[in-house]
Amino acid sequence: MRILVVGAGATGGYFGGRLAQAGRDVTFLVRPARAARLAQSGLVIRSAFGDVTIERPKTVLAAALSDDFDLVLLNCKAYDLHAAMESFAPAVGCETLVLPMLNGMSHIESLDARFGAHRVLGGLCVISAALDDDGAIRHLIDRHRLVLGARRQTEAGVIRRVVSALDGAGFDARASDIIEQEMWEKWVMLATLAGATCLMRGSIGDIVQSPGGEAFILGLLEECASTARQNAFAPRPPVLEQIQKVLTTARSALTASMLRDMERGAPIEADHVLGDLVRRAGEHPVPILRTAYTHTKVYEARRAQASNA
């Protein structure tokens, strides 16, 4: 299976690097600067599960992309989705499958509209990684999981092919019979984490130890979970219990990547993670979620003003 990994940043580089190390046919679609860095230093992963160095990873620039690939592994920020779709479109042939690992659900609608729903799988990843100053990928937690699944019964056969290509590559890969359910559950978790830590500008532990902090988190979690229920994807009780446990752990240093992006003045996924959930809530009251979304949009407005000054 020929695999095109869109980008070689922290997440795409991690999974793509593991696949390349395992001997899979992997090509990274990258920008010129990243291509030059990879040609000079290779693709480097530093992880508790074992370090990886791919000295000369296969790369391609968008302008040179012409061949069809069997699988497009897509991980980008939501605000880069439309540019990413245009960049890898020449690689999408009649039999190509697209496996996105973005958060939320609106990207599925965009990918369906651009490439056809029959080509777009459901997917999510559980990982935390970052690029070091030297361009190496630093794996930050003890999880590196990729979950994928068919969104239609007719796609079940192709899932086995994709899982076979991903299996045994040095990370956890599994198929899910309820992939959209799992995507919604991750979204509930992420929206609560991002909304809480961005609004309060602190870690979960900071919030929990503050007066009213735990009640605030649980209130936001219920709003996100109730929105999922309204959309026919109620979080399963054991999953919701685990999310609640993670988000109310005393002294936890956990923060959302959205907060870390805000702290360094970077773009954020406000509309994709929080705004789209507000939209899907409709008339259902979600005051904490709406406040968190407004907070992130104020940040975006001030950032835009600063860049135009």
Calpha distance 63→205 (Å, rounded): 46
DSSP three-state, residue 131: strand
Q: Give me the mean pLDDT over the 242-253 stretch.
A: 97
Contact 191, 221 (CB under 8 A): no
Q: Work out the end-to-end distance of the chain between its first and last CA atoms, rounded to an integer number of angstroms.
A: 49
User: What residue ranges do the domains of the chain occupy?
Assistant: 2-177, 181-308
DSSP three-state, residue 282: coil
Residues 6+ apart with CB under 8 A from 52: 17, 18, 21, 43, 44, 45, 170
| Span 181-308 CATH architecture | Orthogonal Bundle (1.10)
For 120-160, how does the pLDDT look when each residue is reduced to its tens digit (9 = 90+)? Answer: 999 999 998 989 999 999 998 899 999 999 987 656 678 98
2-177 CATH fold: Rossmann fold (3.40.50)
pLDDT surpassing 80 at residue 276: yes
In the prediction, which pLDDT does 241 show? 98
In order of 19, 143, 247, 253, the CA distances from 188 in angstroms are 29, 19, 12, 19
Calpha distance 179→181 (Å, rounded): 5
In the prediction, which pLDDT does 152 show? 77
Q: In degrees rounded to 5, what are phi and psi of residue 152? A: -140, 150
56, with CB counted inside 10 A (0-12, 13-18, 19+), is: exposed
For 56-107, how does the pLDDT look when each residue is reduced to its tens digit (9 = 90+)? Answer: 999 999 999 999 999 999 999 999 999 999 999 999 999 999 999 999 999 9
Active-site pick, 58, 77, 186, 297 = 186
For 175-195, how does the pLDDT look when each residue is reduced to its tens digit (9 = 90+)? Answer: 999 999 999 999 999 999 999
Confidence of residue 218 (pLDDT cuts 50, 70, 90): very high
In the prediction, which pLDDT does 154 show? 58
CA dihedral (107, 108, 113, 119) positive or negative? positive
Going by C-alpha positions, the residue among 143, 151, 52 that lies closest to residue 98 is 151
Residue 186 among the catalytic residues: yes
